[in-house]
Amino acid sequence: MNRADFTTQKEYDIIVIGGGITGAAVAYDASLRGLSVALLERSDFGSKTSSATSKLIHGGLRYLANFELGLVRESLRERRILENIAPNFVYPIPNMILTDTSSLKSKKFFLKAGMILYDILSFDKFFTWDKSKRLPCHRMLSLKETLKAEASTSREGLTGSIVYYDCSSIFPERLTLAFVKSAVSNGTDAANYTEVNALIKEGNTITGIRARDIIRKKNVTINGRVIINCAGPWADHILTLLPGHPHGEVMRRSEGIHIITKKLVNRHLVSAMTPSGRHVFIIPWRNHTLIGTTDKEYIGSPDDWKITKQSIDELINEVNQSFGPALNITYKDVLFCYGGLRPLVEDQTENVYESSRKYEIFDHSAENLNGLITVEGGKYTTSRNLAENVMKLVCRILGINDSKCSTTERYLYGCDIEDMEEFIQHIIFKYGNFNSESIDYLGRIYGTEIDEVMKLAVKHKKVTSHVTAEMLARTEYAVRNEMALTLNDILFRRTGIGTLGHPGKKTLTEIAAFAAKLLRWDAKQLKQEIAEAEKIFKIPS
């Protein structure tokens, strides 16, 4: 996958601004319809909101409380579709909701009614391509059964639990990248680190964009028939780039953070109600535990947002209050933290937690401004369907036939695997000279691309180093084949080496030095890259 160099005067059918999951899904859908597409991202693909998820592909059980049945049904359908088209990334996970007598929403009979409706709305959950992806219906657990399954749930007033199934996404950043790769393999020109700084307007029509290629340090002009603003929390900023067309409306945003700790639960995602009336989750992930999430309104420029110690303290306090003394998480238990901003379309609720996660697709021709579409809101799970709906509007604008969307019918790039567990057993046997746990992990994050990665690992096998041959192979593959241009791209969005916390000074230094050779960094840039990585690893204090 090569990074596009926008130097020609080619006119694209579509220019997509924003390389998160929404923009990547739109580019992929458009490319399958035979349209010419340019995809631009000002930092790295999937580096902002798309990397700040709870690593779940879920139906949105809590949205039933707001009677958003349409959103829940859409999410459940898309959950099944993602299980099908990205089987190496998306897996069933049992969800345990703790029950007690503290409030109506925590009582068994209330949750039972919601689960019956949830099961009805997910009637197609058995129709997966891979039989191992089929999800069972919910079941009730007694207090004794609950404590046996997850001892950390012990608390005063606990009456038991309800267990139902949703899905987890083991590596959302790479799942986003799979959409980008799928688009590129179908002809899309894509470039990360390309910042849009102007929208070109001729009369009442937007005809292109001006951007800065940060890597090549040059300005580029790109012409397009339709510009699609998929900039997420920065969508309102893109609208301020309109010449003579100031857009005064400010998007509503909420912040969500997560923390990584040692292993605290066995195999269940465990959720409980906080004293303020929202849910927090304890999620098993890569033999560690992921805890989240906050949902607090953020006022200010999205460029200025960062994780604070106050936000981490608030999350820890809420989790401890919700789960009781059996958990007792402290600040010292935090191995890593991450987060981001969510764009919201609803402004009628006082609490952003209660705001809908629906999306809106806005055609600016309603403002007498042609050729511009803005996408706002949404959730990771429904991004593929959002893209399909965007393309229906695009086809009308371009005056072309809205052919049937085919993104539901084919595997994403590198995901063509009919039986996931059989595939894993095959590659563990095939690469028996390597650690089986490492091969298992690599098979899931690379899918059918693993053979290319392992060719590099075999090459590095003889290297005597603190890091493993697999680490060096992942790093090289990221640089040569996946547009990784910074150390943070490699650590957090391509290899996963840094997503469980600091890998250690020796490992970090060796990976950085190896990347420096591949990317031709001088000593000054190498030092800067390490410093930037250390900033992300640092827990706010």
Give per-residue pLDDT as tens, 400-432.
Answer: 988 888 999 999 999 999 999 999 999 999 999
Domain count, the chain: 2
Q: Is residue 277, in this structure, part of any structural domain at all?
A: yes
Of the residues 350, 368, 402, which one is the last residue of a structural domain?
Answer: 350
Question: Are 268 and 144 part of one and the same domain?
Answer: yes
* Together in a domain, 152 and 278: yes
pLDDT tier, 180 (very low <50, low <70, confident <90, very high otherwise): very high
Domain that holds residue 460: 420-537
Distances (CA, A) of 513 to 46, 216, 474, 509, 520: 25, 22, 14, 6, 10
DSSP conformation letters of 434-452: S-HHHHHHHHHHHGGGHHH
Count of beta carbons in the 10 Å neighbourhood of residue 54 = 19
Q: b/e for 68-84, b at 16 or more Cβ within 10 A? A: beebbbbbbbbbbbbbb
Domain-located, residue 138? yes
The reply to whether 343 and 454 lie within a common domain is no
| 453 and 532 belong to one structural domain | yes
Domain match, 475 and 328 both: no
Same domain flag for 315 and 442: no
Residue 10 lies in a domain: no
- Name the H helices within 276-324: 309-323
* Burial (CB count within 10 angstroms: exposed 0-12, middle 13-18, buried 19+), residue 348: exposed
CA distances from 58 to 51, 69, 382, 433 (A): 16, 14, 9, 37
| Domain termination residue (choose one: 350, 384, 401) | 350
Q: First and final CA of the chain: distance in angstroms?
A: 39
pLDDT tier for residue 359 given thresholds of 50, 70 and 90: confident
> Do 139 and 265 lie in a common domain?
yes
Q: Read off the pLDDT of each residue in 21-38 and give the average, rounded to a whole number.
A: 97
Please indicate, yes or no, if residue 121 is contained in any of the structural domains.
yes
Mean pLDDT of 99-112: 81
| Gap between the Cα atoms of 161 and 357, Å rounded | 26
Query: 43-52, 119-128, 241-250 — which is least confidently predicted?
Result: 241-250
Find out whether the peptide bond into 293 is cis, omega within 30 degrees of 0.
yes
Say what the pLDDT of residue 245 is: 60
What ranges in 186-251 are assigned the alpha helix state H? 235-239
User: What b/e readout covers 362-381, taking b as 16+ CB neighbours within 10 angstroms?
Assistant: bbbeeeebbbbbbbbbbbbb
Q: Are residues 341 and 441 in the same domain?
A: no
Judgement on whether residues 483 and 341 belong to the same structural domain of the protein: no
Tell whether 151 is covered by a domain. Answer: yes
**How confident is the model at residue 354, as a pLDDT?**
40
How far is 229 from 376, CA to CA, in rounded Å?
9
pLDDT single digits (tens) 56-75? 999 988 888 788 899 999 99
CATH assignment at residue 273: 3.30.9.10
Residue 7 clears pLDDT 90, i.e. is over it: no
CATH code for the domain of 514: 1.10.8.870
- DSSP assignment of 32-61 equals HTT--EEEE-SS-TT-SGGGSS-SEE---G
Considering the domain architecture, whether residues 141 and 290 belong to the same structural domain is answered as yes
Candidates 44, 47, 40; CA nearest to 4 is: 40
Question: Looking at the predicted structure, is the pLDDT value of residue 387 above 80?
Answer: yes
59 found inside a domain:
no
Residue 201 lies in a domain: no
pLDDT > 90 in the chain, percent: 82
Residue among 122, 130, 113 nearest 74 (CA): 122
Backbone angles phi, psi at 91, to 5 degrees: -135, 145
Using pLDDT thresholds of 50, 70 and 90, give the confidence band for residue 110: confident
Choosing from 328, 350, 372, the residue where a domain stops is: 350
How many CB atoms are located within 10 Å of the residue 58 CB? Answer: 25
Provide mean pLDDT across the span 212-226.
96
Q: Strand locations in 101-134, DSSP E? A: none
From residue 198, give the alpha-carbon distance in Å to each of 12, 23, 190, 284. 17, 18, 18, 44
pLDDT of amino acid 349:
44
Same domain, yes or no, for 162 and 263?
yes
Tokens of 80: 């099944």
Q: Can you list the pairs that 332-335 forms with residues at least 24 positions away whose Cβ atoms lie under 8 Å? A: 333/261, 333/262, 334/259, 334/260, 334/261, 334/539, 335/259, 335/260, 335/261, 335/262, 335/288, 335/500, 335/501
Residue 387 amino acid letter:
A
Question: Hey, how many other C-beta atoms are within 10 angstroms of the C-beta on 330?
Answer: 9
Q: Is the dihedral of CA 508, 510, 514, 517 positive or negative?
A: positive
Rounded Cα distance between 465 and 123, Å, is 52
Structure tokens at 86: 């990205």
Whether 438 and 338 share a structural domain: no
Residue 223 placed within a domain: no
